[in-house]
Amino acid sequence: MTSASLQNSVITDISLAGEGHLKIDWVEAHMPVLNRIRKQFEAEQPFAGLKVTICLHLEAKTAYLAKVVQAGGAEVTITGSNPLSTQDDVCAALVEDGVTVFAKYNPDPSEFKALQIKALETKPDLIIDDGGDLVTLLESERPDLAATIRGGAEETTTGIIRLKALAKEGNLKFPMVAVNDAYCKYLFDNRYGTGQSAFDGIIRTTNLVIAGKTVVVVGYGWCGKGVAMRAKGLGANVIVTEVDAIKAVEAHMDGFHVMPMVEAAKQGDFFITVTGNKAVISGEHFDVMKDGAVLSNAGHFDVEVSKPAMLERSSSVRTVRRNIEEYTFKDGRKMYLIAEGRLVNLAAADGHPAEIMDTTFALQALGLKYVNDHYNELQATVVNVPYEIDEQVARFKLESLGIGIDTLSEEQIKYLDSWNA
Ligand SMILES: NC(=O)c1ccc[n+]([C@@H]2O[C@H](COP(=O)([O-])OP(=O)(O)OC[C@H]3O[C@@H](n4cnc5c(N)ncnc54)[C@H](O)[C@@H]3O)[C@@H](O)[C@H]2O)c1
């Protein structure tokens, strides 16, 4: 541990570090692509002398990404992107590894924001953001801290929507690489990662059976497709609700029931929102829900299930298990909300599997290197991950799996390039 990282950090308890190191060692052993990039970074030192501030769900996989960026020569500061997804033992281990950490499990909203601001006050050259938290703070509260920033990388769908809106107003101050929009991100992380880990959170929190139940998946984007696929695999009857006609047809062709939310609300035992939108389950839906319905959200913010509408209808709210709140409605029905409606896979479980975050964080590491190598040429806007980087991550992944693929012959290349061959 460096005394500077301990002195500067704000965490819950440094004595928890032992457990945190074990968690980080476990994910490191299951992230071969990132291990390879770490070796490359150790040799090339792409971030030598630079400060990097990371704002992500602060659990073991993220901690390992921080260590990979650090191995590339950066002085790394990290903060959490959700009050309930920060793991205190992982924070302590990172401090021992020389990373400055501003994060605690479940701080109150003002402390949560204060910790993020502290992470920006280190005046970073580069940032990694999730849901646009850091960029939003810079824009709305501390524009003075944006001056040193060359650029950064954004993790998720919701963040990219926000960054694009900011860029459209001409207010994004530096280039941000849209990691979420790379193939090796959304095809695997949003779909298979969210699909598996959302159920990990629901099952470990409720200890209830999924088979034979009706699961309502709200939103059939990349995350929704994964959640619906896994619900089907667990033996549920799956209903999908959508607002996009094309996605609704896709859900129908994939074998799911599709209907408006107000109809689905009457039938669901479990509800999982994955829209990136607000109040997708709200008053009129609660009014027709079955007694005992279990509600959860895997979208980025805790606004998808309308808590104000639940409270309005409730005579009492109590915690009945860790991460489950029981809302007793005035008409006697009980509704159960997991993890306060925050991302169920991160607030009530450990997030995506390590092998999934291996490719996502490989894109983060290489995306950050890309923005640093090219920040002088890039516009202050949302930038795609170059296809070569996306493909390189896929090739590293295949190699780590021991899977070979074919290559095009010269004759095939010519054939595919011609119109009359
Ligand atoms: N839990 C996780 O670990 C995790 C991982 C990746 C992304 N996310 C987050 O999950 C959310 C969804 O991400 P995505 O990549 O699937 O986005 P997406 O844009 O691919 O899909 C969102 C879908 O929701 C639909 N939708 C919007 N409003 C709706 C409404 N009122 N009712 C029904 N459907 C509605 C849209 O039409 C779209 O098809 C985002 O907030 C994203 O940041 C979470």
Q: What is the pLDDT along the chain (421 residues), one digit of tens a residue?
A: 567 888 999 999 999 999 999 999 999 999 999 999 999 999 999 999 999 999 999 999 999 999 999 999 999 999 999 999 999 999 999 999 999 999 999 999 999 999 999 999 999 999 999 999 999 999 999 999 999 999 999 999 999 999 999 999 999 999 999 999 999 999 999 999 999 999 999 999 999 999 999 999 999 999 999 999 999 999 999 999 999 999 999 999 999 999 999 999 999 999 999 999 999 999 999 999 999 999 999 999 999 999 999 999 999 999 999 999 999 999 999 999 999 999 999 999 989 999 999 999 999 999 999 999 999 999 999 999 999 999 999 999 999 999 999 999 999 999 999 999 7
CA 31 to centroid of ligand 1, rounded, Å = 26
Q: Alpha-carbon dihedral of residues 395, 397, 400, 406, nearest 10 degrees?
A: -40
Question: How far is Cα 269 from Cα 139, in angstroms, rounded to an integer?
Answer: 41
pLDDT at 1: 53
Q: Which amino acid is at 254?
A: D
Per DSSP (E only), the strands in 197-312 are 214-218, 237-241, 257-258, 270-273, 294-297
Atom 20 of ligand 1, nearest CA residue: 221
* pTM for this prediction: 0.93
Q: Distance of CA 263 to CAs 157, 245, 271, 272, Å?
A: 28, 17, 13, 15
Probe ligand 1: pick from 84, 156, 218, 223, max atoms within 8 Å of CB?
223
**Residue 293 Cα, ligand 1 centroid: separation in angstroms?**
21
Ligand 1 centroid distance, CA of 132 (Å): 15
- Per-residue pLDDT, 107: 96
* For ligand 1, mutation pick of 129, 275, 277 (most atoms within 8 Å of CB): 275
Question: In sequence order, what DSSP letters do the residues of 62-106 get, joined into one string?
Answer: HHHHHHHHHHTT-EEEEEESSTTT--HHHHHHHHHTT-EEE--SS
Which ligand 1 atom is nearest residue 225's CA? 16
Q: Beta strands 314-321 and 324-329: pairing type?
A: antiparallel
238 forms bridges with which residues in the sheet? 215
Q: Backbone dihedral region of 318: left (phi > 0), alpha (psi from -120 to 50 degrees) or beta?
A: beta
Report the distance separating Cα 109 and Cα 113, nearest Å. Answer: 6
Indicate the top mutation candidate among 61, 179, 300 to test ligand 1's pocket, ranked by most ligand atoms within 8 A of CB: 300
181 exposure class (CB count in 10 Å sphere: 0-12, 13-18, 19+): middle
The set of protein residues with a Cβ atom below 6 angstroms from ligand 1 is 156-158, 186, 189-190, 194, 218-224, 241-244, 247, 274-277, 280, 298-300, 343, 345, 352
pLDDT of residue 4: 85
Ligand 1 center to 93 CA (angstroms) = 33
Output the CA 158–ligand 1 centroid distance in Å.
8
CB within 8 Å of 43: residues ≥ 6 apart: none
**Amino acid at the residue 256:** F
Using alpha carbons, select from 357, 376, 400 the residue that is nearest to residue 23: 357
Q: Which two tokens stand for residue 192?
A: 């298979």
Cα 181 to middle of ligand 1, angstroms = 13
Measured in angstroms, how far is the CA atom of residue 314 from the centroid of ligand 1? 28
For residue 219, the Cα-to-chain-centroid distance in whole angstroms is 16
The confidence score (pLDDT) of residue 421 equals 79
pLDDT the model gives residue 2: 64
**What is the CA(38)–ligand 1 centre distance, in A?**
31
Count the neighbouring beta carbons within 10 Å of the beta carbon of residue 19: 15
Q: Whose CA is nearest to atom 18 of ligand 1?
A: 221
Hey, is 243 helix, strand or coil? coil
